[in-house]
Amino acid sequence: MNKIFKKEYTLWWFILALIIGSKYILLGVNEHSVWKTETYAERGILFLIFGTLFNGAVFGMPVYGIYGLISKKWDEKIYMIIISIISLLSLFIL
């Protein structure tokens, strides 16, 4: 897991954070979102960005585990793609 935090993926994380941040800044949070509850209502934009990225990483682990068991290889780029897809999907779900 620590391989996805290496220097080679810095630009990937930065672009993903920019996309997530610009969505929350330009379009705001969904009306029936988890982020609208009392617990998260007073949090800032950084909390929303890191929360969305953490969501993608946590929910991407089982998908990446299934991929690794089926294909018998573990590739960090695939895990970053899975994190990106789940994070971008959660922008519209959460």
Q: Is residue 9 one of the residues assigned to a domain?
A: no
Q: Is residue 76 one of the residues assigned to a domain?
A: yes
Q: Is residue 55 one of the residues assigned to a domain?
A: yes
pLDDT at 83: 92
Other Cβ atoms less than 10 A from the Cβ of 24: the count is 15
Structure tokens that stand for 44 in this block: 């800032």
pLDDT at 26: 86
Q: Is residue 29 one of the residues assigned to a domain?
A: no
Nearest-angstrom CA–CA distance, 71 and 65? 10
Q: Is residue 82 one of the residues assigned to a domain?
A: yes
pLDDT at 93: 78
Q: Is residue 73 one of the residues assigned to a domain?
A: yes
Q: What is the pLDDT along the chain (94 residues), one digit of tens a residue?
A: 568 888 888 899 999 999 989 988 888 777 767 666 666 667 788 888 898 899 899 999 999 999 999 998 888 889 999 999 999 898 877 6
Q: How many domains does the chain have?
A: 1
Domain containing 64: what range?
43-94
Structure tokens that stand for 25 in this block: 């800044």
Q: Is residue 12 one of the residues assigned to a domain?
A: no
